[in-house]
Amino acid sequence: MSSMIRHGQALVLSLVVAGTCAFMPTAQAEEVKKLKIYLSLSYSGNNWMSETANIIKALAKTPPYDKLVELTEVISGTDPQAQIAAYESMIDAGADGIISFPISPTALNRVVKRGCEKGVKFFMYDSTVTESCAYNVSYISAGFGENSAQALVNELGGKGKIFMVRGVPGTSVDKRHTDGAKAIFAKYPGIEVVSEYYGMWDDRIAQQETAKALAAHPEVDGIWSQLGEAGTLNAVADHGGKMMPIVGENMNGFRLGFLNPDYKARGLKGVSSGSPPSTAGYAFKLMMEVLTQKRKLDPVSVEFPLPWATSDQIKLCNGTKIENGCNVFDAKLVPQGFSTVIHDDVLLPEIDLRAALQGIPMDGMTIQPLPAEIHKAPPEPGINCQRCEAPADHYKLTVVQPTVVAQ
């Protein structure tokens, strides 16, 4: 993980810009006041989190943000108390804004509210909090859990033994994905979850845990996996013999698996969806538009679009260019655990492969304005709101339809 620092240390990613008055040549240059922005990471043990941090760093170095932003990065780990302490320090240091992947939807609420009262703008990306003064920018309400579960049920004809590979316990992301998936599986008595375990959103851990599950249940028929699914696929491939449908997120190694002729001959198919690192960049741009008063936006939960690619829609990119609908990179360019959804033609055109890997801005690029409209997320009790009711169609399917009759 590049250039990441521990709690209490700071990494300043911009230079002080000064100017002189043309009418007073003897006057000293005045320092331009920059916005003090903190990037607060909690869990940081995978490629995905590194990519989100690099995307934000690259944007902070892209004109005109490079003249407006002083960015400090802090990693606090998976202990909510450590992230609470980090937020406290940022507030006391005079933060204008905090962009963060929160470790808990509820544990951080008190300190977030204190920060809001002092004028700090909190923008959470991917993971969420239920404190109403924060801005949540996440794709989790877009339905990865239920849509991917239904895709697996369809592939299995409504019957079969499956594994569920979960993420990091205690996070709103893991809870929402799992709740959505189980709501679908519960409609099909022929679907039996024979093993449920945490892959910690890490391809190495997911591979180890899936190998254990395969040893105990070698006749599994399908796998539902959160991030780490490249490792899940590796475990299945290494197990030998017939492969099975796997639905997962958008790791490069997973998507390349769908292009592997041996894997396809052995029965691999499925869907690649899941968490786009580009959400972090979208959240950062929204924050900057609010802080620079280019956008008036009260605290709100914003829904980022759900990526979706079936196994026959995977297309290899030509080198590092993201164009012509390509959605996976050569294995020589990125780690297998690299999450591929880093760019969006409308919301995040400023990001390319180098930006996501190294935090280096695109050559010649300037920040492009966001569309005026945002897509508000529905209320998600315990996810993005405290005292609220979920809509009646809470787990409605949006990108896939049942081909098997539910019971």
Residue among 256, 258, 199 at smallest CA distance from 229: 199
pLDDT at 407: 78
For the chain, the domains span 1-139+276-304+347-376, 143-272
- Lowest average pLDDT, out of 41-50, 55-64, 109-118, 148-157, goes to 41-50
CATH number for 1-139+276-304+347-376 (one of 3.40.50.2300, 2.60.40.10, 1.10.760.10, 3.40.50.620): it is 3.40.50.2300
pLDDT class of 66 with cuts at 50, 70, 90: very high
d(CA 367, CA 55): 13
pLDDT at 9: 38
Angle, vertex CA 352, rays to CA 78 and CA 16, nearest 5? 75
Q: What is the mean pLDDT of residues 226-249?
A: 97
d(CA 80, CA 104): 7
Percent of the residues in the chain that have a pLDDT greater than 90, as a whole number? 89
Q: What is the mean pLDDT of residues 32-59?
A: 92
Q: Do domains 1-139+276-304+347-376 and 143-272 have the same CATH topology?
A: yes
Q: What is the mean pLDDT of residues 184-207?
A: 97
pLDDT tens for 2-11 read 333 333 433 3
pLDDT at 11: 37
pLDDT at 31: 62
pLDDT at 18: 34
- Lowest average pLDDT, out of 17-21, 86-90, 196-200, goes to 17-21
Residue 180 CB-half CA count within 13 A = 33
pLDDT at 311: 96
d(CA 349, CA 218): 44
Residue 138 has pLDDT above 80, yes or no: yes
User: 2 or 281: whose pLDDT is higher?
Assistant: 281
Check if the beta carbon of residue 366 is closer than 8 Å to that of residue 66.
Answer: no
Topology, domain 143-272: Rossmann fold (3.40.50)
Q: What is the mean pLDDT of residues 190-200?
A: 97
Residue 17 has pLDDT above 70, yes or no: no
pLDDT at 78: 87
pLDDT class of 25 with cuts at 50, 70, 90: very low
Check if the beta carbon of residue 124 is closer than 8 Å to that of residue 112.
Answer: no
pLDDT class of 44 with cuts at 50, 70, 90: confident
pLDDT tens for 147-187 read 999 999 999 999 999 999 999 998 999 999 999 999 999 99
- 200 φ, ψ (degrees, to nearest 5): 60, 25
d(CA 149, CA 169): 19
Write the CA distances from 192 to 148, 223, 366, 393, integer angstroms.
16, 11, 51, 24
Residue 217 has pLDDT above 90, yes or no: yes
- On the 0-12 / 13-18 / 19+ scale of CB atoms within 10 A, 285 is buried
User: 6 or 318: whose pLDDT is higher?
Assistant: 318
Q: Please state, rounded to an integer, the average pLDDT across all residues of the chain.
A: 92
Q: What is the mean pLDDT of residues 100-117?
A: 97
